[in-house]
A and B are shown apart, each in its own frame.
Chain A
Amino acid sequence: MSEPFGALRDQLLGAAAAFGDGPDAVPEILAGMVEDVDRALREELEIFPVCHHSPASALAMARRLRDKRPKVVYLELCEDLAPLLPELRNCSLPVALQAFATETEGLPAEWAPLSVVAPITEASAEYQAIAYALDTPDVELVLVDRSADHVFQWTPRAPESGTDGAPGADADADADAADADEAALHGDAVGIEIGDLRPRFAELEAHLLHHGKVRHWSEWWDQYVEQPLTGADHATYRQVMVMIGSLFRRLRPARGTAGDRDEDRERYMWTRMREHLAASGADPADCLYVCGAFHAASRVEQFGLHPEPGAEPFEITPRTETEWLYGLIPSSHSAIEAQFGLASGSVSIAAATWEKAVRRGGVTPFRLNGQKGAKGAKGAKSAKPRTTARKAVEDTGGAAEVADRLTGFLSRPPALDELDEAELLGWCVDIVRLARRNGYPASTADAIAVFETSVLLAGMRNRARPTPYDFQDAAVTCIEKDTVPGRRDVRRLCEILLGGDRIGQVGYESLPPLARDVIDRLEPLGLDLGKRTIQRALLDLDARPELVPCSHLLWILRRLLPGGAARPIMGSRRLGERSVQESWDLAIGREQRALVELGYEGVTVEQVLEQRLRRAVADPEGTAATALDAVEDSILYLGGRRFTGELGRRAVELLAAERTVDEAPEVLRRMRRLLTHYRATEPELPEWCAAFVTAGYAHYCTLLPTAFVDEGTGVRQVAAMLGFLFSMESLALSLGCDRAQLEIAVAQSHPEEPAKSALLWAARFQLGALSLADLRERCDGLLANPLVLPAFPRYLNGFVQALEPAPGLTPLVVEVMSKAFGRLPDAVLLPWLPKLITTLRAQAPDLVPPLIREAGRTFPATLAGVDAWDPPWSGRPAPAEAAAPAVNAPVAALLSSHPAACDAVAVLLGHEPVWQAPDALGPAASPAVAALLAAHPATAEALAALP
């Protein structure tokens, strides 16, 4: 076989034989790599291997496109994302193409919502291809990779694997993004990247890093591939990239599922390309296939336009029924780094390298017309195809003229990039300036030291030109002292200096209708909502009534969007409240992704909210309480009576169908609020409201006996049921309910638990079946019985809860509680106290005010008062033990003949005016008194003289 790589193969095999210890896999791998390169280059359709975030790839791509001017570009990117590509020109990069599905059909439901993102940066080969294809007439761009749907179809359905780490996706999506705001830009989407090229197992990567004497994979790549390839010609570039792809392909865990999916993707892409060529009749010589170097070194049998004889055609499975929506979301360098596990700052450094290479000239990059965030690069149209003699030589296309460039590349000592003194000086001066601004006492001397140290470090690491990583180390060495004065340390400052994070933005025109609508409607606020900062909006609704719709929209956004997008600082929206002034913190520009994803759900926010509310009440897990919540939201945000009625009717249905009363407290609270609202605003109750009250009355009556005995139902729930029954009784009775139903239900209840017994007594008291005196007697009995004493706190729990359904019982509750505190032994009382406090705290708005009010009435307000205080309930048993009348007969006679004054005094003091029979008042007065009166008769005489 007269092949171009024969010599290289022989040399490598010789080396393997010489250095390898015995027969092992080394010769096979080495020979295989050469074979892979050979195969890829022989392919009739030109394969252009790329690597992500590699400026060298992007440069080679731009050069190749200008030379070859292909008519069709096949790109390794989800085929269903194609319609989004023209929208890129409205955005400032980086942005991510997103495929999104809220509901799954044919995929596990727990995966929903599904989201796939493919970030696009400007310094990437794929952007060059896209820009070239879209802005050059008669060029077709065909995306050939599996669709977003297949990404999930191919995800193994093991229970532990969620959407994250889907092997079908190109990367380990273990985005440890929680710490950084920017890093969370992609949410929990599965990341797709074109040209993923990285060792597939950790040991290989560790080995390469160790022997390359570098710290990150990005640094290794930069030093060993990127820099040597930056100026390389097309043939060298292509061969080297395929070789590296082949290396990582051959050194990977055997037969992993992930590997199989990679091969399936290759089969998929080749099948699609053959289909396209057959359908369009394009000449393969005019086509270019852009894919990751990993896939260029493919060994699947369906590889190539003319697959191996006997290779079975790859059958592409149909998509599931899942409905996919597509859009653009903003992305950022740090989000990309976090999602794909790259070293922090590496994408920024790649972008900086790209810009520098472009500035240096030699190649004019392609750029979409009207691309936002343009930085002085020329449009694609300005670049005329160069028709030079070189083109004819380079434009081989076929296999016949493939020349071996690999041998030269591999045997050449690393071509050292010349020291770019101006660039390094610039960095040194800038970092010192930046450090000063961040509180470091850095000076020109430091700039000199950083320069010197960078050069020395690079020399120590076998480089003539300090890389950004060397520079970073040098800056840390020279400027960082024992403390970091400001918020950022020198390492972070270097990252900022070398490009910083760039955050993309989706242009207005490419936003979904909902997002555009929101921005249009918030126009009167006069804010630039595209900014990524938090902006304060002040709305004086009385002075500027035209802002009322804005305020309304903001409240809806607050309901729909996550936390920070719209945050009210002043003003609130609750039933029965209206703000006169509002102030908002808006971060709509920063939360653009959330807004875009909201746009997948509907055309306006109102529609989305309506759908969400409808979905909430239609949810099989939905309860009456959630339905009432939806009703409240619909009143607050939408205001349509018909829709509210619909939700309300659903609430009635849900209530009637409920078999538990777990949510009774919520139902009671919400229903009370709604009733108050309707009473205040509407002439009559809406129909659903009446239906809810009558249904609730009947429903809770029916469930009451069971709830009293059921161990699973808490005291609070029963109390809420009783609360519903008693507080809405009058309304329910006026709507035709029968009180007998409640009486029977109470009579049927026989609770065993002390707390519920207390509740039942309260209910019976409320119904008039038990008097206050009886109830008090029962309580005293409990306190007097040493056998039930330990259970007394549980009774008390019931009484505390009874405050809600039976407010008339409050004095008794205070009394019983005081007695409990006074009499219960510490061993019983103390363990119960925390529970009382937590109960009161949890239900503070309902329980605490009546208790406090009543306690204030009962207990003395001053310290002095406490000493002399006698509880009102303790004085009662001994009203008859009035002191024996030590009065003389005339006085007694006088008093008994004019009882009105004494009666009034007695009543005033809270005693029954009881008079003893006059004859009982014998002359029992002591002689001393008689003597006293005889000695000073004036008082008695004056009394006698009274009319």
Chain B
Amino acid sequence: MTDEMLRAPAEVKYAEELDWLESIDDGPKPFSWRLSPRMVRLFVLGSERSDGLDREVAQKWFGDRSFVERSIVTLASDRGLLLIGDPGTGKSWLAELLSAAISRNSTLVVQGTAGTTEDHVKYSWNVSMVIAQGQSRASMIPSPIMTAMERGVIGRFEELTRSTSDVQDALISILSEKYVSIPELDEDGIVFAQPGFSIIATANSRDRGVNDLSSALKRRFNFVRVPVVTSKRSEAEIVRFRTTELMRRHRIELDLPPTLLDILLQSFADLRAAAASATSDDERLESALSTAEQIGVLEDAVLHSQFFGDRTLRARTLASSLVGSLARRSPEDLAILNKFWHGVVEPRGRKDEDGPWREFLDGGREAIAALS
């Protein structure tokens, strides 16, 4: 099944591992959870020797242990979980892993956009069936959230703060009364949530102020702030993990030279430091410089080398995809990158004659020149 999908959801991708974990799990499980909280943690954060398991469970989300613990515990409690953080910090991935581990279904997702309506959160009607048979449960189309309620599993709401306030507020009754009433139906007009239902929402902290959550809704969510990864080691781990996965998806066989990975991480670290010391938005790249952005840059470079290059990842390609992905505003971003290239990359390139930094320097210069 995995082979036929461009991107398999976590519960499909790790189905075998989840089955195995479920088979050995003897801990107490809340509600209808498929795994106990400790096993969920183990699934997300990977196993260690001291866990005494027969097989190794790979780490799938990289970050502080306490974030995962707090998230799992929140799902076991009465409240919804709101993962909040900068773009690209792995919020959605964590949400997917959690719902896959807890309810083996991570696809009950509502995507919050400016066009999301209350129908997307509650239910809508199949108009032709309503005309033919009248309003009934059969002619009703339940939303993913309602489906999650009925089944007692985890529902997800991506980018909660992108949707408008009235849509957000539709969640209040779902989260507090745990039922949705369907006034159109005379009988069977209430859908009650089964035990085990909860909601994982994600929100982008850069969107703050667009559609602020009402305090009533805030009260019904526990906030877990996911920070930008700053530890170089775990960031390298994440980038490698995700890129390998992406390459597998594209069926690309390509080596990721560790030096290039280092260059990429170092450049991002430098750019983040520059952004942190900048005083105005004009001196800051528009990009949040998140880990996801790095993965994007690397993926772009890999694809480029695969299809237009000599099937080897080169520093030159990496440089041009870095410039290409980060230069969003002209001239501000280009000016920052130009400054970065001359002030930071150039000394390194000079020191590292004939090395990858040199090539990176040249590639970046060409890309900047081509864009300006």
Contact = CB atoms under 8 A, between A and B. Distances in A.
Given A215-B66, A481-B223, A482-B205, A457 B218 contact: no
A250 B225 CA distance: 41
Contact of A473 (B48, B69, B208, B215): B69
A456 B37 contact: yes
Contact of A478 (B41, B203, B222): B222
Interface stretch (A29-37, A441-449, A843-851): A441-449
Interface in A480-503: 480-482
Contacts of B154: none
B78 interface: yes
A449 B203 CA distance: 22
B208 A460 contact: no
Contacts of B74: 453, 477
A473 B70 contact: yes
B140 interface: no
A521 interface: no
27 contacts: A211-B48, A211-B50, A445-B219, A446-B219, A449-B77, A449-B79, A452-B78, A453-B70, A453-B74, A453-B77, A456-B76, A460-B37, A460-B73, A461-B69, A477-B73, A477-B74, A477-B222, A477-B223, A477-B224, A478-B222, A480-B223, A481-B218, A482-B203, A482-B208, A482-B213, A482-B218, A482-B225
B223 A482 contact: yes
A213 interface: yes
Nearest to B69: A460
Nearest to A445: B219
Interface in B275-305: none
Interface of B: 37-38, 41, 48, 50, 65-66, 69-70, 72-74, 76-79, 84, 203, 205, 208, 213, 215, 218-219, 222-225
A639 to B, nearest CB: 52
A446 B38 CA distance: 24
Given A213-B65, A460-B73, A478 B48 contact: no
Nearest to A461: B69
Contact of B41 (A210, A453, A460, A480): A460
Contact of A457 (B70, B215, B224): B70
Given A215-B66, A482-B203, 9 more contacts: A211-B50, A213-B65, A445-B219, A474-B70, A478-B79, A481-B218, A481-B223, A482-B84, A482-B205
B240 to A, nearest CB: 21
Contacts of B225: 480, 482
Contacts of A480: 223, 225
A756 B219 CA distance: 76
A731 to B, nearest CB: 55
A553 B205 CA distance: 55
A459 B66 CA distance: 13
Given A211-B48, A456-B76, A460-B38, A443 B70 contact: no
A465 to B, nearest CB: 16
A481 B216 CA distance: 12
A460 B66 CA distance: 11
A343 B262 CA distance: 33
Contacts of B224: 477
Contacts of A210: 48
Given A477-B70, A481-B223, A456 B77 contact: yes
Interface string A798-824: 000000000000000000000000000
A286 B219 CA distance: 62
A460 B222 contact: no
Contacts of A459: 37
B67 to A, nearest CB: 10
Given A441-B215, A460-B38, A482-B223, A449 B69 contact: no
A443 B78 contact: no
A460 B73 CA distance: 8
Given A460-B38, A481-B218, A473 B66 contact: yes
Contacts of B70: 453, 457, 473-474, 476-477
A443 B48 CA distance: 40
A481 B41 CA distance: 23
A449 B78 contact: yes
Contacts of A456: 37, 73, 76-77
A306 B202 CA distance: 69
A476 B225 CA distance: 10
A215 B66 CA distance: 9
A862 to B, nearest CB: 43
A211 B205 CA distance: 32
B145 to A, nearest CB: 21
A452 B38 contact: no
Nearest to A457: B73
B202 to A, nearest CB: 13
Contacts of A453: 70, 73-74, 77, 222
Nearest to A458: B73
Contacts of A473: 66, 69-70
Interface in A450-477: 452-453, 456-457, 459-461, 473-474, 476-477
Contacts of A460: 37-38, 41, 69, 72-73
Contacts of B203: 482
A446 B77 CA distance: 12
A388 to B, nearest CB: 43
Interface string A188-216: 00000000000000000000001101010
Interface string A559-598: 0000000000000000000000000000000000000000
A217 to B, nearest CB: 16
A220 B305 CA distance: 49
Nearest to A459: B37
A461 B38 CA distance: 8
Nearest to B66: A473
Contacts of B69: 457, 460-461, 473
Nearest to B203: A482
A452 B79 CA distance: 11
Contacts of B79: 449, 478
Contacts of A443: 219
A215 B77 CA distance: 23
* Residue of B73, B213, B224 most packed against chain A (CB within 10 A): B73
A460 B48 CA distance: 16
Nearest to B70: A477
Contacts of A446: 219
A210 B74 CA distance: 23
A456 B225 CA distance: 19
Nearest to A442: B219
A441 B48 CA distance: 40
* Residue of B72, B78, B222 most packed against chain A (CB within 10 A): B222
A816 to B, nearest CB: 43
Contacts of A211: 48, 50
A460 B205 CA distance: 28
A474 B78 CA distance: 13
A213 to B, nearest CB: 7
B50 A452 contact: no
A678 to B, nearest CB: 53
Contacts of B50: 211
Nearest to A462: B38
A495 B89 CA distance: 29
A210 B51 CA distance: 12
B109 to A, nearest CB: 22
A453 to B, nearest CB: 5
Nearest to B224: A477
A462 to B, nearest CB: 8
A452 B48 contact: no
Contacts of B219: 441, 443, 445-446
Contacts of A481: 218, 223
Nearest to B28: A459
Nearest first, the 5 closest Cβ-Cβ pairs linking A and B are A456-B73, A477-B70, A477-B222, A211-B50, A460-B37
A452 B77 contact: yes
A482 B48 CA distance: 33
B299 to A, nearest CB: 31
A506 to B, nearest CB: 39
